[in-house]
A = this chain, B = another copy of it.
């Protein structure tokens, strides 16, 4: 069983383990196993290194212990409990928000698909509507909530309308969204400070906000800049260029570069944020993602038969355009969103955005006090 164990030099070299931050050094003793005595004794000074069967002040593991089975144990727990993931989509009507979400999750998960009439009137103010689904894949269950924001950006006709009255002023557009995001943090915080807590706090916090940029080919609108500037510190924003099939390859590249420049000029930090890269490996992976952003996407949630196979695509006068596998940007987004950064999006939301909200909230008005609420606890 010894074969299962290995000490990877790259792992210990590449990242900031908590014991390294605490000033504890890991000493490599053999290629197969390592162990280091670290004294945290309550009463005595640091003792000499442990007695050892191998020379060099450390000891070698004599057989397989099973520490790495923690992964399997965590897998079993996750399979049993499932997990929550909440995505918000923001952008004016007609940009294909619902279609893109359906494309990413290969099913009719969007609000519009969930029975909301496609011909509903565009609201005069920004509305927040959400719909949840439970999706299972490989035995893992995810409660996916799509938060839609109909009415966002729809009543603004002028990019420089910041001084115009309701409903033209941009803040009428981001304020209800910001309020919703903070309300979810507040809900979580209230559950967290309860004296009798739920074993598992329901997580309605927005883990990711897909911001849809119009494929104008020109530049970002003032509302785009203002929205992302204000909300990038309270939610993970992933900017996407919507309906990018309306642009030629050159136009798309040029527009992407312009948007990236404008985001940088305005100090807008989108996800994955540079400052939260854990280590060099993370940085290298995320740099590639950041370079490809904003993703220029085209959604397609209709199913067609092509050469006898079911495919997702868009049927145009020129034929069926197969989307998901061939569209690089969409693939990159699909990789990022469900396949590589789901857990990280949840962790950044919890460790950074929620913690920032919590600290601000506890600092004001003497903070929140624990509440004795025994009604629906499932401890």
Contact = CB atoms under 8 A, between A and B. Distances in A.
A354 to B, nearest CB: 10
A52 B344 CA distance: 31
Interface in A161-178: none
A318 interface: no
A4 interface: yes
A18 B82 contact: yes
B69 A340 contact: yes
A71 B67 contact: no
Contact of A65 (B79, B139, B338, B363): B338
A310 B62 contact: yes
Interface string A131-157: 111111111111101000000000000
Interface in A11-65: 11, 15, 17-19, 21-22, 24, 26, 33-44, 47-53, 59-65
Contacts of A37: 109, 114-115, 131-133
B142 A344 contact: no
A202 B199 CA distance: 20
For this chain, the copies found in one complex come to: 2
A42 B130 contact: yes
Given A26-B134, A324-B63, A343 B70 contact: yes
Contacts of A63: 106, 312, 324
B19 A140 contact: no
Nearest to A368: B370
A145 B40 contact: yes
A127 interface: yes
Interface residues of A, number: 121
A317 interface: no
A303 B142 CA distance: 48
A374 to B, nearest CB: 10
A378 B16 CA distance: 12
Given A37-B114, A372-B363, A108 B59 contact: yes
B312 A80 contact: no
Contact of A62 (B106, B134, B379): B106
A24 B134 CA distance: 9
Contacts of A196: 359
Contacts of A253: none
A60 B107 contact: yes
A226 interface: no
B139 A8 contact: yes
A247 interface: no
Contacts of A109: 35, 37, 50
22 contacts: A5-B136, A5-B138, A11-B139, A17-B80, A18-B200, A18-B202, A22-B202, A24-B134, A37-B133, A39-B131, A47-B114, A59-B108, A63-B312, A66-B335, A67-B142, A71-B75, A71-B78, A74-B78, A77-B347, A80-B279, A362-B370, A363-B372
Interface of A: 4-8, 11, 15, 17-19, 21-22, 24, 26, 33-44, 47-53, 59-71, 73-75, 77-83, 104-109, 111, 113-116, 127-143, 145, 195-197, 199-200, 202, 204, 278-279, 303, 310, 312, 324, 334-335, 338-344, 347, 351-352, 355, 358-359, 362-363, 367, 369-370, 372, 378-379
